[in-house]
Amino acid sequence: MSQPRLFSGMQPTHDSLHLGNYLGAQVNWVRMQDEFDAFFCVVDQHALTVAPDPAELRRRTRVTAAQYLAGGVDPERSTVFVQSHVPEHAQLAWILDCITGFGEAARMTQFKDKSGKRGQEGTNVGLFAYPMLMAADILLYDTAAVPVGDDQRQHLELARNLAQRFNARYGDTFVVPEAHIPSETARIMSLAEPTAKMSKSADNQAGNLMMLDEPKVNTKKVKSAVTDTDNAVRFDPDAKPGIANLLRIHAALSGDSIDTLVERYAGENRYGALKTDVAELVVAVQQPFKQRVDELLADPGELDAILARGADRAREVAAPTLAKAYDAVGF
């Protein structure tokens, strides 16, 4: 029996994922690839909305794909590909643009935030059309499940509305996708400012544990993580966000429960011991991850072959969906 489809992607806007991306997204992807026919896309066309330097975009696209693989996505079981290699994404996006209201798109909070910061002169139309391209990414694959962060909930809702609207107007064509939002406990916070999430776009990058940094850099960041002065290890995210974050990271990486850990580090002056252990756990996942990425980047032939196979497999699914949509609208 065929498995339900899953689609997810990341923008190649940075050279390294952080631990939040790894624990919040990648670990989930790897788990879900058993139950789903999974499509993992490097969405380089979305990244073009921020006008990256061409050489940088090309490099980051490859590094991002290499990180999917290093994190445990298995290209034999899942489809790993680059969005721009599959022209059906842009083709379907145009059709979806034509059934989206201007006001509806203008209400997307991410667009309002980004265009508000850049002003009209600094805002390109691609940024405005981003959610419709994202809807195309999802709908092309008859996707049942989309693992997305909370911040993408509104875009996913738009994709669902567009699928339903298209189906009502032109006849049944698209599967209406469901969001898979990871639980709040999966959220990793900044080590420098533990009330804000670890994020590539955070102002203070000192709080991000980057998967491709040297282990000693991450060890140092863990050891200087912001905590509090009461010196007792308890899990209290409101009063003790720094310690709660370290406990979450430890639990996610070691598999031990938070309760077990609180017991282990009970007593006075145990913050140092907790930090030492968290640093070791981080390095233990991050070092082989980085090594695998380095290997993949050193052998461009292998990576290119995986991405070419991925694009072929993606087109096998995307082309018939686009053909149905073309036929339905009268092309």
Judged by the rule CB under 6 A, the positions of this chain that interact with ligand ADP are 10, 20-21, 23-25, 149, 186-188, 197-201
- Residue pair 141/88 in contact (Cβ under 8 Å)? The answer is no
Is 324 an annotated catalytic residue? no
**132 touches 105 (CB < 8 A):** yes
Instruction: Please tell me whether 241 is known to bind a ligand.
Output: no
- Binding-residue pattern over the window 54 to 93 for Na ion, x denoting contact by CB under 5 A: -----------------------x----------------
* Residue 24 interacting entry, from Na ion, ligand ADP, none, C-beta within 5 to 8 Å by type: ligand ADP
- Give the nearest distance from C-beta 181 to ligand ADP in angstroms: 8
- Measured in degrees and rounded to the nearest 5, phi and psi for residue 270 equal -105, 5
Would the annotation count 11 as a binding residue?
A: yes
Give CA–CA dist 96/93, Å, rounded.
Answer: 5
- How many residues interact with Na ion (rule CB under 5 A)? 2
Nearer to ligand ADP, 25 or 140 (CB): 25
**Piece of the chain touching Na ion by CB under 5 A; list 25-33, 50-58, 60-68, 115-123:** 25-33
Query: Dihedral angle at the C-alpha atoms of 313, 5, 108, 116, nearest 10 degrees?
Result: -50
Question: Which among 28-36, 214-222, 231-239, 300-308 is the span making contact with Na ion, rule CB under 5 A?
Answer: 28-36
197 is catalytic: yes
13 is in an annotated binding site: yes
Pairing of strands 178-180, 5-10: unpaired
Q: Is 149 annotated as a binding residue?
A: yes
Burial 3-22 (b: 16+ CB within 10 A, else e): eebbbbbbbbbbebbbbbbb
Q: Is 137 annotated as a binding residue?
A: yes
Active-site hit among 197, 221, 275, 290? 197
Cα-trace Rg, the chain: 21
Quick check: is 114 catalytic?
yes
Residue type, 85: H
In one letter, which amino acid is 307? L
Nearest to 209 by CA among 292, 251, 201, 199: 199
Which residue numbers are catalytic? 114, 197, 200
Specify binding-site residues for ATP.
11-13, 20-21, 149-151, 188, 197-201
Specify binding-site residues for L-tryptophan.
137
Residues that bind Na ion (CB under 5 A): 33, 77
